[in-house]
Amino acid sequence: MATYSQLRSLLGVEDTLANQPSDEFDSSTQYGAVVYGKAPGLNRELEALFGVEQVTTALAAVVEQHGLRPDQRRRLAHHPRRASR
C-alpha cells in the first residue's frame, strides 16, 4: 500500500488541507490524493488511539446527529472522546 506522500509524489500534486470546500483544491487529482489519501491514514490513527469499536461508534453518532453534511472539525473531534469513556 502506498503512503500518502508516495501517492502525492506519483500524481505530482501539492499537499494541502483536506478540510476545505472541494472547489478550492487545485485540481480533481489533488482533491483525490488529499481526501482519499489522508482520510484512511487518519482513520487508522484514530483506531490506534481509541480502538475500532469506539471510532465506529463515534462516526455513527456524528452521522446520526448531523447527517452526511459537512461537519465542523471541533464537533467531530469530541465524538471519539465521548465514545471512549
pLDDT at 21 over 80: yes
At 78 the pLDDT is: 61
Cell matching residue 71:
461537519
Domain parsing of the chain, residue ranges: 1-50, 51-85
pLDDT (tens digit per residue) in 29-76: 999 888 888 878 888 889 999 999 999 998 888 888 877 766 555 555
CA atoms within 13 A on the CB side of 85: 4
Note whether 27 and 9 are within 8 A (CB): no
**More confidently predicted of 26 and 42:** 26
pLDDT at 9 over 60: yes
What is the Cα–Cα distance from 69 to 47, expressed in whole angstroms? 23
What is the Cα–Cα distance from 52 to 54, expressed in whole angstroms? 6
